[in-house]
Amino acid sequence: MAERLQNKVALITAAGQGIGRAIAEAFIEEGCIVIATDVDAGKLQDLQPRKSIKLDVLSTAGVVELAKAVEAEFGGLDVLVNVAGYVHQGTVLECADRDWNFSFDLNVKAMHRTIKAFLPAMLKKGGGSIVNMSSGVSSIKALPNRYVYGASKAAVIGLTKAVAIDFITKGIRCNAICPGTIESPSLEDRVATLSKQTGKSEKTVWDDFIARQPMKRLGTAAEVAALAVFLASDESRYITGQPHLVDGGLAL
C-alpha cells in the first residue's frame, strides 16, 4: 500500500506534534509532497516535509498569504488537513466568553479560513480532499466537562457536510475524522492540569482516562494518521461529507 499519495501536494496544520505530526509522517511515507505548518515552527525542525512553515491559523491574512504562495509554487493543494485545535475543560458554568470565543476561533473558524483560502486553487486543479479533525465528543457523543469543546467539534461536522455538499460535483471531497482519547502531548498537558485541579495523582488521572475506554487503552496518533491517509488517497474517492470515528468504541 506504499505511495498512495505519490506526488499529491498536502498541507497539514498543527503538524509539530501529536496527531498532526503523525499525519505528516504518514503522508511523507506515502510519497506525498507535504507542507507542514505549525504556530511553533521549532516543532517542525526534525520533520522532513517538502516545506516547514510557521502558520498561525487564527490569522486570516497569514492563511491567505500562504495560500497564494502555495498556488504560485505548486498550482494549489490536492489535500488539506485541518488538525489545529484546543480542548477546553469544564461545563457551561466554567466557560467564560473568552473560552467560548477562542475554542470556536481555533476549532472551527480556523478551518473556515484555510478552506476558503485554499479551495479556489483546488477547484482550478480539478479537485481534492479536505480532511477536518473533529472528535467523537461532538454531535456524536457527550462526555462530562467538554461543554464548548463538544459544541465546537459538532460545528466541525456541520462545516464538513456543508463543504462536501456544496462542491460534490466539482471534484472536492470533505470528510471529518472523529478521534476518541489519543495519546499525545496535548493529553499529557491536560492530565497534568487535571491533577493539579483535582488533587489526584497524575497516575490516577491517566487511569481514569483509560478506564472510560471500551478497549481499555488509549488510541495512538498513528492510528488516526492511518485513517487520514485513506481519506486523502484515491481509495476513498467515493466517500464524502462523513464523520469517521477512530475511537476504540467510545461512542458505542
- Reply yes or no on whether 238 is catalytic: no
Q: Which of 86, 147, 149, 238 is catalytic?
A: 149
Please list, in sequence order, all residues whose beta carbon lies within 8 angstroms of the beta carbon of residue 119, skipping any fewer than 6 positions away: 130, 163, 167, 172
C-alpha cell read off for 252: 458505542
Q: Report how far Cα 222 is from the mean position of its chain's Cα atoms.
A: 13
Catalytic center residues: 149
